[in-house]
Amino acid sequence: MGIVYAVVNQKGGVGKTTTAANLAAGLAYLGKRVLMIDLDAQANLSAHFGYAADDDSDSLSMYDVLRHGKKLNEVVVQIEDSLYLAPASLLLSAADLELGGVIGRELLLRQALGSVIDDYDFIIIDCPPSLGLLSLNGLVACSRVIVPVQSEYLALHGVRQLLDTVDQVRSAYNPGLGVGGVLLCLYDSRRRLAKSVADTVREYFGDLVFDTVVRTNVALAEAPARGCSIFSYDPRSSGAEDYKNLADEVLKRGEKEGQI
């Protein structure tokens, strides 16, 4: 049965989608079969791999799964060897309103995953930069949360609220939910502030913080323009090295926790 991770931070611009895309690609690079689920109406994860459901009126997206009960395997497209995507659509922006009266609306994604959970080793969910209904669906459906944190001032701002939400979801819906790790992103070792933030994050979160740090790297910003992961775009870059290390670390943590 696949292990489900949700990449979550209600603050934008922290490397959330970059992490979802390249962690998934890194796990696929290591021989795992991986499904990415784009729950963000901005569809940045989908665009990262050159896919835009809104450009084709016949294309299905996660909106059709959550709103109209389409099977998840009807939506999934193959991106690379062992790497698959369930794309998002701008229509997801209305999900909170349209699903507001649906009984069990917070369980829709978990129910949809039931039909494909055995087809993949890992499922990586890219949640919206908010703590609304779509992110709640991601938290209810996953077993572990990965929290990317920008190496900037106020890095901890909002993370405490997110972890409080994780605790509430664990109590109400998902007793097996845990924090898979906190990831320092956009790290520039030349800046004194970045090191200070990293030290503060490690002091506050302790062993939850990944040893891997994702350094600032121009190739990570360029790869989406080519519609591919960092491993396809520039496999020798520091970005590829960092996300390869993160994938290794996720596997090791999973083995230690008995998930793998």
Per-residue confidence (pLDDT) for residue 248, from 0 to 100: 98
CA 95, CA 93: separation in Å to the nearest integer?
A: 6
Per-residue confidence (pLDDT) for residue 9, from 0 to 100: 93
**Structural domain boundaries enclosing 217:** 3-256
CA atoms in the 13 A half-sphere facing the CB of 164: 7
Per-residue confidence (pLDDT) for residue 159, from 0 to 100: 86
Closest CA to 24 of 8, 45, 41: 45
- pLDDT tens digit sequence for 222-254: 999 999 999 999 999 999 999 999 999 999 998
CA 176, CA 93: separation in Å to the nearest integer?
A: 29
What CATH number did the domain enclosing 185 receive?
3.40.50.300
Grade residue 260 by pLDDT with cuts at 50, 70 and 90.
low
The pair of structure tokens assigned to 191 is 């800046």
Q: Does residue 151 contact residue 186 with C-beta atoms inside 8 Å?
A: yes
Grade residue 146 by pLDDT with cuts at 50, 70 and 90.
very high
- Domains: count for the chain: 1
CA distances from 249 to 16, 181, 221, 246 (A): 17, 10, 23, 5
Q: Burial, 51: exposed, middle or buried (Cβ in 10 Å; 0-12, 13-18, 19+)?
A: buried
- pLDDT tens digit sequence for 180-189: 999 999 988 7
CA 137, CA 135: separation in Å to the nearest integer?
A: 5
Per-residue confidence (pLDDT) for residue 40, from 0 to 100: 96
Mean pLDDT of 90-100: 91
Place of tokens 């819906």: 173
218 pairs with which residues across the strands?
none
pLDDT surpassing 80 at residue 143: yes
Average pLDDT over the chain, rounded to an integer: 93
Grade residue 148 by pLDDT with cuts at 50, 70 and 90.
very high
CA 185, CA 97: separation in Å to the nearest integer?
A: 33
Per-residue confidence (pLDDT) for residue 197, from 0 to 100: 86
Mean pLDDT of 36-56: 89
